[in-house]
Structure 1
Amino acid sequence: MTKDAELAALMRRIDRLEAEADIRRIQARYMFLCDTPMPEFGCKDDAERIDLIMALYTEDAVWEGVGEYYDNQFGRAVGAPAIRRHFEGFWGGKTDPALILNCHYLTSEQIHVHADGATADGQWVHMQPWLFSDGKALLRSSRLNNTFRKEPDGLWKITRTRTENVFVAPLPATWASDYPSKSVLMRP
């Protein structure tokens, strides 16, 4: 192998590793922004939270719940305006009882950057406890099969969020005795 070929191969490997790292950060940021209470310092309201989430998506993205449990619960939203409406249904005092605690835990990561270097897919399993203002509590687990695209500006964005239920388990109302009403960890 020539020095030029070795250098080109090394550059492809670096590009793939950087793409994987960018995609990992995007997926983790999405989950972070979906947590309740909202942990992003300086985010003043749910409308701003949704703006931050939407900045992670392409204009032509798809958000869908699939499988026998999520088909009817989450449905399918195509395009940024429809995905925005989907998220607006979760926040802004529109749910009763209100969601007062939700934290996403990601595991079983697999990221595959495609040969074109501009598209990728990733799979994760995530688990999240939910606590509502009426005391109802759930533990949910889902499989994620998401796709990503490197945009002309060089930033990776989500082109599809696809979630399938693994299980939903009720938790006792007293499973969490102490939890914050707001997050104070993120400081400028």
Structure 2
Amino acid sequence: MTAVSIEETVAELARRVGVLEAEAEIRRIQARYMFLCDTPCPEFGVADDERRIDLIMELYAEDAVWEGVGEYYDGQFGRAEGAAAIRAHFQRFWGEKRDPALLLNAHYLTSEQIRVDGDAATGQWIHLQPWLFSDGTALLRSSRLNNAFRREPGGWRITRTRTENVFIAPLSPGWASDYPSASVLMKP
């Protein structure tokens, strides 16, 4: 058995703490992204979707890619390369007047796997999301996420959002009740 110096032990502990801190920041970034995509948006003071999009874009690197992949999402979402194209993607989503209107959706993440390699990282999740519409229809969506992140001078940023459909299931009308028209969760 070889003796390990105090300096080597401290260096290894510092490396391991750095990985844990990176994982925690990546977890917060991914959760914040999903939080900002919820309807109604629970972020206090976000009065319009342009502000919501600004906050989402703060999470992305300038050269990021947002893409839907696989036999269902490829045609539905396509691929947006770069911050301007990703912003346009979100502006189309929230800018279109929908009939029926989307009243509620909430994002749930599970099966997390984050891998950090220096200043780059990947994360995989399974995502579940109920959607409720103004005409009483509802559905449940599930996706797999395979995202990438990079440490930049201001902190970690998303460099790739890749989502693939797992399933979409219609829900019975009225399956959910007592949902808010606006969120007051973050209200001071």
TM-score normalized with structure 1 length: 0.96
1:166 equivalenced with 2:166 (yes/no): yes
Residue-by-residue CA offset, 1:106-144 (whole Å, 9 max, x unaligned):
000000001xx1000000001000011222211000000
Alignment correspondent of 2:112: 109
Residue-by-residue CA offset, 1:14-71 (whole Å, 9 max, x unaligned):
1000000000000000000000001001111110000000000000000000000100
Amino acid at match of 1:128: Q
Instruction: Give yes or no for contact 1:89–1:95 (8 Å, CA) kept in 2.
Output: no
How far did residue 90 of structure 1 move? 1.7
How far did residue 102 of structure 1 move? 0.2
Aligned-residue CA RMSD (Å): 0.9
Alignment correspondent of 2:129: 128
Match for residue 7 of structure 1 among 5, 10, 18: 10
Q: Secondary structure at the match of 2:93?
A: coil
1:69 equivalenced with 2:65 (yes/no): no
Q: Secondary structure at the match of 1:37?
A: coil
Distance 2:177 2:19 in 1: 44
Alignment correspondent of 2:52: 49
Amino acid at match of 1:156: W
Distance 1:134 1:76 in 2: 30
Match for residue 102 of structure 2 among 99, 102, 105: 99
Distance 2:93 2:26 in 1: 24
TM-score normalized with structure 2 length: 0.96
How far did residue 177 of structure 1 move? 1.9
Distance 1:174 1:185 in 2: 24
How far did residue 172 of structure 1 move? 1.2
When the two structures are aligned, how many residues end up with a matched partner?
Answer: 185
1:40 equivalenced with 2:43 (yes/no): yes
Alignment correspondent of 1:175: 175
How far did residue 94 of structure 1 move? 2.8
Distance 2:163 2:105 in 1: 17
Amino acid at match of 1:142: S
Match for residue 24 of structure 1 among 27, 38, 52: 27
Counterparts of 1:132-171 in structure 2 under 5 Å?
132-153=133-154, 155-171=155-171
Residue-by-residue CA offset, 1:145-166 (whole Å, 9 max, x unaligned):
000000023x001000000000
Distance 1:90 1:76 in 2: 14
Residue-by-residue CA offset, 1:73-126 (whole Å, 9 max, x unaligned):
111000001101111112145322221100000000000001xx1000000001
Q: Secondary structure at the match of 1:142?
A: strand
